[in-house]
Structure 1
Amino acid sequence: MNYWLMKSEPAECSVDDALAAPNATVPWVGVRNYQARNYMRDTMRVDDGVLFYHSSCAEPGIVGIARVASTPYPDPTQFDQKSHYFDAASKPEEPRWQLVDVQVLRKIRNITLPELRATPQLEELLVLKKGNRLSITPVEPKHWKAILKLADKA
């Protein structure tokens, strides 16, 4: 089993939006970075653990525990000319962008960046590394366990 941190802007898709979706499951649309796409396409497996992270908001942080709920498939937004994520170079017969569905299992209190940085066991967590702007990053099992412990603290 692998673990991932997946960033979403709450204005695009919040943890509450995901929980309100059928089966609390949403397609992870709009990834337009090749490395993040490759994680979804080549490495993610159904039932991998996901830390649902709110980014580009007043208090960025981990707000939910989720799982990968599908195998990868073409992101339909790449073909939609009205979409912010439209990619004219991507063709239906050879799609450039993939996505997976993500199912939120539970909402947690916001574990903010300052709290993550203040936790010694998480000093190597990729999201905390300077210059790391990827929307999807792998999470080590030891970091996953430490974050679940933080999530269970009141």
Structure 2
Amino acid sequence: MPQYWLMKSEPDEVSIDDALAAPGATVAWTGVRNYQARNFMRDGMKVGDGVLFYHSSCPEPGIAGIARVASGIKPDPTQFDPKSPYYDAASKKDNPRWLLVDVQAVRKTRLLALPDLRARPELADLVVLRKGNRLSITPVEPAHWRVIEKMLG
């Protein structure tokens, strides 16, 4: 049974348009530097899981597309690149600290902004709407996924 996830990306790093334009509409989800988000990728994600592609840290944050998990986990190469903002000198190639999955964009959607999501009582406990939530990857309940799919049409 597939699971569902919300994955945040700053659109000036990787937007839904960038993902759709990438070869095979697939991008490596680099730069995750939170242990809980990494653990969601490592322990929970499976190829084929649904992804709400969420634009964050921008003028109008919200769900901008639908994607799917396209690979199993692998080491994030940015942790080993001293020129990368995601460089981690403590991470070792034989024991990498940070992981990634490939994400394949399925389609761009109209933007479902935070006020749109908050306006739906059935989404009240969606993790991204919880006060203080800053995780870049969060699980999405199947019931929430169905509501959001209906909202997107």
**TM-score class normalised by the smaller sequence:** over 0.9
CA–CA separation in structure 2 for the residues paired with 1:56 and 1:44? 24
Residue matched to 2:89: 88
Q: TM-score, normalised by structure 1?
A: 0.98
The aligned length equals 152
Residue matched to 1:116: 117
CA–CA separation in structure 1 for the residues paired with 2:120 and 2:24? 33
| 1:120 positional shift | 1.2
CA–CA separation in structure 1 for the residues paired with 2:141 and 2:14? 25
C-alpha RMSD of matched pairs (Å): 0.4
* CA displacement, residues 119-147 of structure 1 (integer Å, 9 cap, x when unaligned): 11101100000000000000000000000
Superposition map of 1:1-154 within 5 A: 1-152=2-153
SS of equivalent residue, structure 1 residue 142: helix
Q: TM-score, normalised by structure 2?
A: 0.99
* CA displacement, residues 73-129 of structure 1 (integer Å, 9 cap, x when unaligned): 000000000000000000001000000000000000000000000011101100000
Which ranges of 4 or more aligned residues in structure 1 deviate by more than 6 Å?
A: none
SS of equivalent residue, structure 1 residue 18: helix
SS of equivalent residue, structure 1 residue 131: coil
Percent identity among equivalent residues? 71
CA–CA separation in structure 1 for the residues paired with 2:14 and 2:152? 21
Please list every run of 5 or more consecutive structure 2 residues that lacks an aligned counterpart in the other structure.
none
SS of equivalent residue, structure 2 residue 84: coil
* CA displacement, residues 7-43 of structure 1 (integer Å, 9 cap, x when unaligned): 0000100000000000100000000000000011111
CA–CA separation in structure 2 for the residues paired with 1:119 and 1:98? 34
* CA displacement, residues 31-72 of structure 1 (integer Å, 9 cap, x when unaligned): 000000001111100000000000000100000000000000
